[in-house]
Amino acid sequence: MTLSVLGDLNWLAVIVATIAYFALGALWYAEFAFGRAWQRSAGWDLNPPENAGVGIYAVPLATCFAATLATAMIAAASGTGNVMKGILLGLVVGIGVALPVIFVTGTFDMTKPAPKTFAAISAGYHIVGLALVGAILGLWS
Protein backbone atom coordinates (compact mmCIF):
# COMPACT_ATOMS: atom_id res chain seq x y z
CA MET A 1 0.00 0.00 0.00
CA THR A 2 1.18 3.52 -0.72
CA LEU A 3 -0.15 6.89 0.29
CA SER A 4 -1.66 7.21 -3.19
CA VAL A 5 -4.59 5.24 -1.74
CA LEU A 6 -5.64 8.55 -0.13
CA GLY A 7 -6.84 9.67 -3.56
CA ASP A 8 -9.15 6.66 -3.75
CA LEU A 9 -10.99 7.45 -0.53
CA ASN A 10 -14.56 8.64 -0.32
CA TRP A 11 -13.77 11.59 1.95
CA LEU A 12 -17.44 12.28 2.73
CA ALA A 13 -17.71 8.70 4.03
CA VAL A 14 -14.54 9.22 6.10
CA ILE A 15 -16.00 12.39 7.66
CA VAL A 16 -19.41 10.81 8.34
CA ALA A 17 -17.78 7.67 9.78
CA THR A 18 -15.53 9.81 12.01
CA ILE A 19 -18.53 11.72 13.36
CA ALA A 20 -20.49 8.48 13.92
CA TYR A 21 -17.54 6.92 15.78
CA PHE A 22 -17.14 10.03 17.92
CA ALA A 23 -20.91 10.23 18.60
CA LEU A 24 -20.93 6.58 19.65
CA GLY A 25 -18.51 7.60 22.40
CA ALA A 26 -21.05 10.10 23.73
CA LEU A 27 -23.54 7.24 24.09
CA TRP A 28 -21.02 4.60 25.21
CA TYR A 29 -19.61 6.72 28.01
CA ALA A 30 -22.95 8.23 29.04
CA GLU A 31 -24.10 7.57 32.58
CA PHE A 32 -26.95 5.29 31.41
CA ALA A 33 -24.52 3.06 29.48
CA PHE A 34 -20.94 2.41 30.66
CA GLY A 35 -20.08 5.88 31.98
CA ARG A 36 -20.44 5.23 35.70
CA ALA A 37 -18.61 1.89 35.56
CA TRP A 38 -15.87 3.41 33.42
CA GLN A 39 -15.41 6.35 35.78
CA ARG A 40 -15.33 4.06 38.85
CA SER A 41 -12.80 1.77 37.15
CA ALA A 42 -10.63 4.81 36.40
CA GLY A 43 -10.86 6.04 39.98
CA TRP A 44 -12.68 9.23 39.05
CA ASP A 45 -15.25 10.76 41.27
CA LEU A 46 -18.60 10.94 39.55
CA ASN A 47 -18.66 14.73 39.27
CA PRO A 48 -17.93 16.39 35.94
CA PRO A 49 -14.49 18.01 35.78
CA GLU A 50 -14.40 21.73 36.44
CA ASN A 51 -13.60 24.02 33.52
CA ALA A 52 -13.98 21.19 31.00
CA GLY A 53 -14.75 23.11 27.86
CA VAL A 54 -15.21 22.03 24.28
CA GLY A 55 -11.45 21.54 23.93
CA ILE A 56 -11.61 18.32 25.96
CA TYR A 57 -13.35 16.72 22.96
CA ALA A 58 -10.73 17.73 20.40
CA VAL A 59 -8.34 14.85 21.15
CA PRO A 60 -11.02 12.12 21.00
CA LEU A 61 -12.35 13.59 17.74
CA ALA A 62 -8.83 13.68 16.27
CA THR A 63 -8.16 10.08 17.32
CA CYS A 64 -11.49 8.95 15.85
CA PHE A 65 -10.46 10.63 12.60
CA ALA A 66 -7.02 8.96 12.63
CA ALA A 67 -8.50 5.50 13.25
CA THR A 68 -11.21 6.07 10.63
CA LEU A 69 -8.66 7.27 8.08
CA ALA A 70 -6.42 4.25 8.69
CA THR A 71 -9.41 1.91 8.38
CA ALA A 72 -10.50 3.66 5.18
CA MET A 73 -7.00 3.27 3.73
CA ILE A 74 -7.02 -0.45 4.54
CA ALA A 75 -10.52 -0.76 3.07
CA ALA A 76 -9.46 0.93 -0.16
CA ALA A 77 -6.26 -1.12 -0.43
CA SER A 78 -8.05 -4.40 0.27
CA GLY A 79 -11.06 -3.78 -1.96
CA THR A 80 -13.59 -3.76 0.87
CA GLY A 81 -16.69 -2.96 -1.12
CA ASN A 82 -19.85 -3.61 0.88
CA VAL A 83 -21.33 -3.25 4.36
CA MET A 84 -20.61 -6.79 5.58
CA LYS A 85 -16.98 -6.68 4.42
CA GLY A 86 -16.70 -3.24 6.03
CA ILE A 87 -18.03 -4.52 9.34
CA LEU A 88 -15.62 -7.46 9.19
CA LEU A 89 -12.71 -5.09 8.49
CA GLY A 90 -13.75 -2.87 11.41
CA LEU A 91 -13.94 -5.88 13.71
CA VAL A 92 -10.52 -7.11 12.57
CA VAL A 93 -8.98 -3.69 13.21
CA GLY A 94 -10.81 -3.30 16.52
CA ILE A 95 -10.09 -6.78 17.87
CA GLY A 96 -6.66 -7.09 16.27
CA VAL A 97 -5.28 -3.65 17.09
CA ALA A 98 -7.40 -1.63 19.53
CA LEU A 99 -8.17 -4.45 21.97
CA PRO A 100 -4.57 -5.66 22.45
CA VAL A 101 -3.17 -2.13 22.72
CA ILE A 102 -5.73 -1.09 25.31
CA PHE A 103 -5.41 -4.31 27.31
CA VAL A 104 -1.60 -4.05 27.46
CA THR A 105 -1.99 -0.55 28.84
CA GLY A 106 -4.77 -1.64 31.20
CA THR A 107 -2.82 -4.63 32.51
CA PHE A 108 0.12 -2.51 33.55
CA ASP A 109 -1.79 0.55 34.81
CA MET A 110 -1.83 -0.02 38.55
CA THR A 111 -3.06 3.52 39.20
CA LYS A 112 -6.64 2.54 38.38
CA PRO A 113 -8.84 0.68 40.87
CA ALA A 114 -10.13 -1.70 38.17
CA PRO A 115 -7.76 -1.53 35.18
CA LYS A 116 -9.23 -4.55 33.39
CA THR A 117 -12.77 -3.13 33.62
CA PHE A 118 -11.45 0.18 32.35
CA ALA A 119 -9.71 -1.60 29.46
CA ALA A 120 -12.74 -3.77 28.63
CA ILE A 121 -15.10 -0.79 28.42
CA SER A 122 -12.58 1.24 26.40
CA ALA A 123 -11.73 -1.62 24.03
CA GLY A 124 -15.42 -2.44 23.60
CA TYR A 125 -16.06 1.12 22.47
CA HIS A 126 -13.33 0.95 19.85
CA ILE A 127 -14.38 -2.49 18.59
CA VAL A 128 -17.99 -1.40 18.13
CA GLY A 129 -16.90 2.02 16.85
CA LEU A 130 -14.56 0.58 14.23
CA ALA A 131 -17.23 -1.92 13.12
CA LEU A 132 -19.54 1.09 12.66
CA VAL A 133 -16.79 2.88 10.74
CA GLY A 134 -16.32 -0.18 8.54
CA ALA A 135 -20.04 -0.42 7.88
CA ILE A 136 -20.24 3.22 6.79
CA LEU A 137 -17.13 2.96 4.63
CA GLY A 138 -18.39 -0.29 3.07
CA LEU A 139 -21.81 1.18 2.41
CA TRP A 140 -20.32 4.20 0.62
CA SER A 141 -17.61 2.38 -1.33
Q: CA 10 → CA 2, 61, 137, distances in Å?
A: 17, 19, 8
pTM to 2 decimal places: 0.92
Quick: pLDDT tens for 34-47: 999 999 998 887 66
Quick: pLDDT tens for 9-64: 999 999 999 999 999 999 999 999 999 999 999 888 766 667 667 778 899 999 99
